[in-house]
Amino acid sequence: METIYLIFIVLLAAFLGFELIRKVPATLHTPLMSGSNAISGITLVGALVASGSDNDTLTTILGTAAVALASINVVGGYMVTDRMLSMFKKKQGK
């Protein structure tokens, strides 16, 4: 039962992703990629539990390293995307 639900989620998320991204214009493809970097930092959520739980030393170290790496993506990804998108300006009306 559980597995079936997961398959449903995977299938729907994949379709949703394709529909959403197809609409992103070519001019924004670089910000899209750096934004994807940020979103893929969602691994942080899983890493938090591994880092902060009552685990042996190895697991804590691995979890903490994962937290650090995912944080780079989250913080750096969103900030650089924002920096880039601020540069895109419309032509001033004459």
Partner 1 sequence: MSDNALIINLAYVLATTLFIVGLKLLSHPSSAKKGNLVSAIGMFIAVVVTLIDQQIISYHWILAGFVIGGAYGAWKAKSVEMTSMPEMVSLFNGYGGAASLLLGWATVSGMSAITLATTDSLVFVTVFLTILIGGVTFSGSVIAWGKLSGKMSSKAFIFTGLRELSILHLIAFFVVGYLFATDPGNPMWLYVSIALALSFGIWATISIGGADMPVVIALLNSYSGVAACAAGLAVANTILIVTGLLVGASGLILTNIMCKAMNRSLMNVLLSGFAKPVEMGEAIEGEVKIMSAQDAFYVLEAAQSVLVVPGYGMAVAQAQHAVREMQSLLEENNCTVEYAIHPVAGRMPGHMNVLLAEADVPYDLLCEMDDVNPRMENYDVVIVIGANDVVNPAAKEMKGSPIYGMPVIEVYRAKTVFVLKRSANAGFAGVDNPLFFKDNTRMVLGDAKETINNIVREFGDD
Q: How far is the CB of 73 from partner 1 (least distance, A)?
A: 5
Query: What gap in Å lies between CA 68 and CA 47, rounded to an integer?
Result: 9
User: Minimum CB separation from partner 1 for residue 1, in Å?
Assistant: 13
How many residues make contact with partner 1 (CB under 8 A)?
A: 80
Q: Binders of partner 1 among 57-86, rule CB under 8 A?
A: 58-60, 62-86
DSSP 43-62: HHHHHHHHHHSS--HHHHHH
Interface with partner 1 in residues 5-44 (CB under 8 A): 6, 9-10, 13-14, 16-18, 20-44
**4: which 2 tokens?**
């079936």
Structure-token pair, residue 67: 């937290």
